Structure 1
Amino acid sequence: MPATEADLFALLARLGIATRTVRHRPVFTVEEAQSVRDNLPGGHTKNLFLKDKKGALWLVVAEETAAVDLKTLPARIGAGRLSFANATALKDVLGIAPGSVSPFALINDTAHVVRLVLDARLMRLDPLNFHPLDNSATTAIAANDLLAFLAALGVQPLILDLGSDGTDGRP
């Protein structure tokens, strides 16, 4: 049975990680999320659950305005051609429904089949905001605390600049 939001929060508490959660109507897109975050400072994300041509699963987490080029990304992360994974894979592997994708869902990937890619630009923001296994809430967490959470799960993310040109957007 997949972890619940309560399970996630209990693990974060055991790890000594402080978070702040705001409840809102369910949101499924970046645009919808923008409409409910009046009091949610920090980095906001787009979370892409992808598969490559060999069937490997990837979770790519970028700052919401980042232009993630799915044609050039495979060479940068060592993947085959990427496409979006289906809702069945999302439910079977991460235990969540579409619209709820975030690094927190890796709590349910006990077989460690999902490879995580984090946008380096995003990791410089504070706090970071993610759905806590459900798209009717947003949870803020410090970037270093996100990394501590991932380490506790045994997840080693690949952190790189996800700008379409491979840069971090600065001159």
Structure 2
Amino acid sequence: MFEQELQIYGILKKLSIDYERYSHPPVSTMKELDSIIESFEEIHCKNIFLRNSKGDKHYLILVKGHKIINLKEIAKTIGSTRLSFASEERLKQYLVQPGAVSPLGLVNDKLKEVIVLVDKDLTTSPKMTFHPNVNTVSITMK
């Protein structure tokens, strides 16, 4: 196990959050994950790391796995300038390595600079699946 993965398990244990762990081949996109999660009853989130046009605000967007998002609509809704995908360098600086993006990466955002936006469709799911900061494992939590 990787150090960043073990860190997540330690935090979940400290918070008394139960989880189930699933090992799988490395995946970086929802398309790659499709064949793996077909057997999961849980919702796997698509996690998108964005920045505004000035690069001074960063957002982690969580939506259901295959939901199509409209960056112009999101920018308008949150009152932001144009949104675009953040670079790999920014992703590494604020959260995790590319391919392992999830809200669990927020443990690495020491200055709490990343703004999290959760799609309302996710609020009805009793369980969700995320990467624990590595893309060879998924964990399901209630």
| TM-score interval, normalised by the smaller of the two chains | over 0.9
Alpha-carbon distance, 1:16 to partner: 0.6
Which residue is 2:106 aligned to?
A: 106
**1:19-168 equivalences in 2 (<5 Å):** 19-55=19-55, 56-94=57-95, 96-142=96-142
Letter in 2 for 1:4: Q
Alpha-carbon distance, 1:53 to partner: 1.1
Q: Equivalent pairs: percent with the same residue? A: 32
Alpha-carbon distance, 1:77 to partner: 1.7
Counterparts of 2:39 and 2:110, CA distance in 1: 33
Alpha-carbon distance, 1:73 to partner: 0.7
Normalising to structure 2: TM-score of the pair? 0.93
The alignment covers a number of residue pairs equal to 139
Alpha-carbon distance, 1:38 to partner: 4.0
Aligned CA RMSD, in angstroms, stands at 1.2
Letter in 2 for 1:108: N
Unmatched 5+ stretches in structure 1 = 143-171
Q: Which one scores higher on RCO, CA 8 angstroms, separation ≥ 6?
A: 2
Query: Structure 1 or 2: larger helix share?
Result: 2
Letter in 2 for 1:42: E
